[in-house]
Amino acid sequence: MTTENQSLTIEFILIGFTDHPVLKILLFLVFIAIYLITMVGNLGLVALIFMEHRLHIPMYIFLGNLAFMDSCCSCAITPKMLENFFSKDRSISLYECMAQFYFLCLAETADCFLLAAMAYDRYVAICSPLQYHTKMSKKLCIQMTIGTFIASNLHSMIHVGLLLRLTFCRSNQIDHFFCDILPLYRLSCTDPYINELMIYIFSMPIQIFTIAIVLVSYICILFTIFNMKSKKGRGKAFSTCASHFLSVSIFYICLLMYIRPFEEGDKDIPVAIFYTIVIPLLNPFIYSLRNKEVINSSASTHS
């Protein structure tokens, strides 16, 4: 048995994807294209919602914040991953690692709350259309948005603070393409039991709470739609929530696949790619291509 190295790790090595030269170039080109399209799509959507007065309603305020958070998620992960394709050491400092995880956790937590808020917004719009402006006032929308960012920041700071209590004195190689929380637990010489407990105490209730809001909202929406006598009304109602339903379905399917027991290995890298890189790419296209108001606003902006 080898003697454990007791020197504390202040720098990690991100193993990444492959050492094959051709594959590295190919993957670099694919991911940089995804990154550029993601940033243009999401920041363009944020700018469009900000500039277009007719989009200053709760649904699009939530959508603009969702697009901004998706941009943060991409910025937290992709630039370092692209750099490491051609970096000799693939190193990332302890504090860079903590910052990367902080912004990722912030973005993903905010996404959960924003998607739940958007589901509630669709519920009010379809089930109580005459009371929409009363129940979904701008004041409530702003309060929900501010609450989302406060809760997401606190959630991220809790987990980063708990990560900083760990000592990393084993291997400094992270078998992943970013600083994910579970690979860090496996490198810790300190028992991460408290960290894992805090995930169950803080993270799981957030997931359960937001998923419950989405499920209850869509159950009520479906009952309302099926009770409509007009086919035109049903079609309009379906189109009103189709984009959000598609987006939230993809997000939570990937989230549930990504949440695994702490004992499992890093077999979730393909899911992590989809969860952290592909979903931020898809969201602006889902909402832009299926949403007439966004398309019309974009056309009027360019004309």
**In the prediction, which pLDDT does 216 show?**
95
Residue 301 maps to a domain: no
**Rounded (to 5) percent helix, strand, coil in the chain:** 75, 5, 20
List of residues 6+ apart from 91 with CB closer than 8 A? 11, 12, 13, 14
**Residue 250 falls in which region: left (phi positive, over 0), alpha (psi -120 to 50) or beta:** alpha
Q: Is 5 helix (H, G, I), strand (E, B) or coil?
A: coil
Whether the full predicted model's pTM is greater than 0.85, yes or no, is: yes
Q: Is residue 223 part of a domain?
A: yes
Domain with residue 21: its CATH number is 1.20.1070.10
Within-domain flag for 41: yes
CA distance linking residue 302 with residue 177, whole number of Å = 38
Q: What pLDDT score was predicted for residue 2?
A: 40
Q: Residue 4 falls within a domain, yes or no?
A: no
The answer to whether residue 2 sits within a structural domain is: no
Run means of pLDDT, 10 residues per run, the chain, 303 residues: 50 85 92 95 92 87 93 93 88 91 94 94 90 89 95 95 87 86 86 89 91 93 86 77 83 72 57 86 78 56 51
- Would residue 3 count as lying in a domain? no
Q: Copy the structure tokens of residue 190.
A: 């300190």
Q: Phi and psi for 270 in degrees, rounded to 5?
A: -60, -40
Return d(Cα 196, Cα 263) in angstroms, integer: 11
Q: Which two tokens stand for residue 141?
A: 């929308």
| pLDDT value of residue 298 | 54
**Is residue 253 in a domain?**
yes
Name every residue whose Cβ is closer than 8 Å to that of residue 195 and which is 6 or more positions away in sequence.
159, 162, 163, 165, 166, 181, 185
State how beta strands 91-93 and 173-174 pair. unpaired
Residues 6+ apart with CB under 8 A from 40: none
Residues 6+ apart with CB under 8 A from 10: 93, 94
Phi and psi (nearest 5°) for 189? -85, -15
Q: Examine residue 1 and state whether it is found in any structural domain, yes or no.
A: no
Q: Provide the domain count of the chain.
A: 1
| C-alpha to C-alpha distance for 49 and 56, rounded to whole angstroms | 7
Beta bridge partners of 14: 174
Q: Report the C-alpha gap between 225 and 217 in whole angstroms.
A: 12
Q: Which range marks the domain in which residue 89 is found?
A: 9-294
The dihedral sign for the CA sequence 6, 12, 18, 19: negative
User: Measured between alpha carbons, how far is 257 from 275 in angstroms, rounded to an integer?
Assistant: 10
- Tens-place pLDDT, residues 169-227: 777 888 888 998 888 888 888 888 899 899 889 988 999 999 999 999 999 999 988 88
Q: Residues 220-241, buried b or exposed e (16+ Cβ, 10 A)?
A: bbeebbeeeeeeeeeeebeebb
| 11-14 sheet: strands from edge to edge | 91-93, 11-14, 173-174
